[in-house]
Structure 1
């Protein structure tokens, strides 16, 4: 997944819980995870059919966690349990959690086994509340495939949040901070994202794409364009705390067990999507290319998109995705050419303008990048991500801080709880010397996204500018708790400890930095001056 490192220049409870610490020696095989998924997942029939997860039971009452948009409109809904039993949903009991696209539903069941005539409760999910590492964590998405009217489970990998922020097709908001390569379909919203131990680590809610009318078949065809997104359990638990609700949850805080060879092999069948037949349409080949792109098979993806374009030369989604693949392959010039072809065919396709701007920024062509961002917000003024990236460009490359603040404010007008924009605002204010205002903005960013190491680092640097070294040190320590493998952060902490005269602690911090970057001459030189170098 090393190709997913896109556009770095513009990316800057009260609930009752039974907490345990898993000591599983070996990850489950995929079929065992599927068995768990089948037993804890429900189907939600209504205006917006979707899925949900059984997360708690109190007597005969069950709690179902789902995406709020699945039950956003008051209507007649039925919860279809794993055994096929149907339970009408009392809409007055729906609890929409604050600040996130999540809702808790309730239903009552006195389930009795037909064969044994005894009470057999439904299984409830165990929640996994831990830091999920990008690129090396396999996860499973499960839910109801509405088009094929059957359940579907797919495997994929977690991708880095900073990368996802740059390329997700729908503006990130309402708690969407978990991004993954799994193929997902309509009807899977609200369904579980499970780790390799079968624990619930998130609720699926979004999959990037467009619906296009196909004149040949007379049908709307879905074109997949990006990745899938969900809300991590950590965000759901914080929302529960704010809501005052207290379902009895089973929570584990440990990372999953390492994958055995057997577990690894069992995942493979769930990673694949069938290759289209030779007579497939341009849409089919484009969707196949998207799957290959998601799974890091970039050369194969490029061939699939070229096949799509060969069938329909003006099929702009394939040209757009081709640009993303070419960038992943390191051919930046060709990628820009594909984005240019995309907007030649469809001038109002703002995703291409947005990605074109981000890539041009990474290439150092900041003037052209700004033109692309300006075109993107002209077409789609309600995308807070573009306003955020535009603000970063103005801050980092043009030092036009007042204009940058205006861009961040536009992002916050669209989404007041968009933490990256608060962080960017704090950065711009600090560059202007308005440290008190900067600190308030950074505090708000951290309140909204407590897991952001970058915001803690910026907070620490502002404390340094305010000549508050002890508070700066505390901020850096919190950042290191979130990002312990950041060599530069260890070095920053070490230098601060030097300034504070805490030589022994400084040597320890700089030694950690050197362990992570053994060939860094500046760290080695500073250690030598302190008498801590080898």
Structure 2
């Protein structure tokens, strides 16, 4: 069964999506070997950053990350373009399934009514666009990086707005450190191709994955340890080697920024160093 172009038995309804939440009440990439499974298991690292450097990176992430809301549900999003007073927010398509009327909350706590851009043309990739207007406040936008330069062990930093675990608990913005665990030679359904060790929670879908320079290299979308279904099906219908399943399931998953920029709407934004990697 398929819904909105995604396999319901795989990505579309699987419990591992970092997902929208409901508040409580590329040709150069190589498939990892079995040795990689043993040596590149996800770990938490500080990567020799000082506390001040991490705080600067966290601040950069907070500035470009928005909460995407519809009624009592939410996910995360990224400010990727400003045209005058008009802002473009990148998120996951499954985040936009939470409702029909959206608002976004920016880093200063302000909320703006947002509209969907249905002409973005992401195909079967789990990506979506919202737009809003700010007449009085100017917000920073993400600096785009190049995910084609990532490899296993590269430090990455992910951010978003996780859901509270209980009705009494509260959670705000979350910023996590980790590293690339693996990058398969082709994308899974939904466009997921970046495996990383960061602890991604429900509600963080659509948030940024940054490199050490603070550049956007991927979009959060799927957390570790799927509860049901099989998210590890490539877009051509094939599957990875069974020996990699443990590493796959112990990784969070994101969509490369190059996949985002393949759409005609955003292709002009591609960094010059990534042009040779974008079809």
Which TM-score band (shorter chain)? 0.5 to 0.7
SS of match in other structure, 2:159: strand
Alignment check: 8 A CA contact 1:94 1:106 kept: no
Equivalenced residue count is 208
SS of match in other structure, 1:235: helix
Q: Deviations over 1:475-523 (max 9, x none)?
A: xxxxxxxxxxxxxxxxxxxxxxxxxxxxxxxxxxxxxxxxxxxxxxxxx
SS of match in other structure, 2:126: coil
Alignment match of 2:273 (pick from 253, 256, 260)? 253
SS of match in other structure, 1:37: helix
SS of match in other structure, 2:258: helix
- Counterparts of 2:221 and 2:209, CA distance in 1: 10
For residue 143 of structure 1, what is the aligned residue in structure 2? Answer: 160
Alignment match of 1:157 (pick from 170, 174, 179)? 179
SS of match in other structure, 1:196: coil
Q: CA RMSD in A?
A: 3.3
Mark the runs of 5 or more structure 2 residues left unpaired by the alignment. Answer: 1-31, 39-48, 165-169, 229-248
Matches within 5 A, 1:20-35: 29-35=53-59
What displacement does 1:250 show? 7.1
What displacement does 1:253 show? 2.8
- Counterparts of 1:175 and 1:106, CA distance in 2: 22
- Counterparts of 1:109 and 1:39, CA distance in 2: 15
Q: Deviations over 1:29-87 (max 9, x none)?
A: 22211111011110011265110010010000000111111003542221111111111
- Counterparts of 2:74 and 2:121, CA distance in 1: 17
For residue 190 of structure 2, what is the aligned residue in structure 1? Answer: 174
- Counterparts of 1:201 and 1:91, CA distance in 2: 23
For residue 70 of structure 2, what is the aligned residue in structure 1? Answer: 46
What displacement does 1:247 show? 7.9
Q: Deviations over 1:313-366 (max 9, x none)?
A: xxxxxxxxxxxxxxxxxxxxxxxxxxxxxxxxxxxxxxxxxxxxxxxxxxxxxx
SS of match in other structure, 1:84: coil
Residue 250 to residue 97, structure 1, CA distance change in 2 (3 Å): closer
For residue 102 of structure 1, what is the aligned residue in structure 2? Answer: 127
For residue 5 of structure 1, what is the aligned residue in structure 2? Answer: 36
Alignment check: 8 A CA contact 2:209 2:219 kept: yes
- Counterparts of 1:176 and 1:210, CA distance in 2: 14
Residue 199 to residue 92, structure 1, CA distance change in 2 (3 Å): closer
For residue 20 of structure 2, what is the aligned residue in structure 1? Answer: none
For residue 256 of structure 2, what is the aligned residue in structure 1? Answer: 232
Alignment check: 8 A CA contact 1:180 1:229 kept: yes
- Counterparts of 2:272 and 2:217, CA distance in 1: 10
Matches within 5 A, 1:28-427: 29-46=53-70, 48-72=73-97, 74-91=99-116, 95=120, 97-112=122-137, 121-147=138-164, 148-162=170-184, 172-209=188-225, 226-238=250-262, 240-241=263-264, 245-246=265-266, 249=269, 251=271, 253=273
Alignment check: 8 A CA contact 2:68 2:77 kept: yes
Residue 246 to residue 231, structure 1, CA distance change in 2 (3 Å): closer
Matches within 5 A, 1:497-516: none
Residue 247 to residue 59, structure 1, CA distance change in 2 (3 Å): farther
Q: Deviations over 1:252-286 (max 9, x none)?
A: 638xxxxxxxxxxxxxxxxxxxxxxxxxxxxxxxx
What displacement does 1:251 show? 3.1
Alignment check: 8 A CA contact 1:156 1:181 kept: yes
Alignment check: 8 A CA contact 2:163 2:203 kept: yes
- Counterparts of 1:195 and 1:57, CA distance in 2: 22
More strand per residue: 2
More helix per residue: 1
What displacement does 1:210 show? 5.1
- Counterparts of 1:92 and 1:233, CA distance in 2: 18
Alignment check: 8 A CA contact 2:261 2:269 kept: no
SS of match in other structure, 2:63: helix
- Counterparts of 2:131 and 2:163, CA distance in 1: 23
What displacement does 1:129 show? 2.1
- Counterparts of 1:174 and 1:210, CA distance in 2: 15
Residue 252 to residue 201, structure 1, CA distance change in 2 (3 Å): farther
Residue 50 to residue 151, structure 1, CA distance change in 2 (3 Å): same
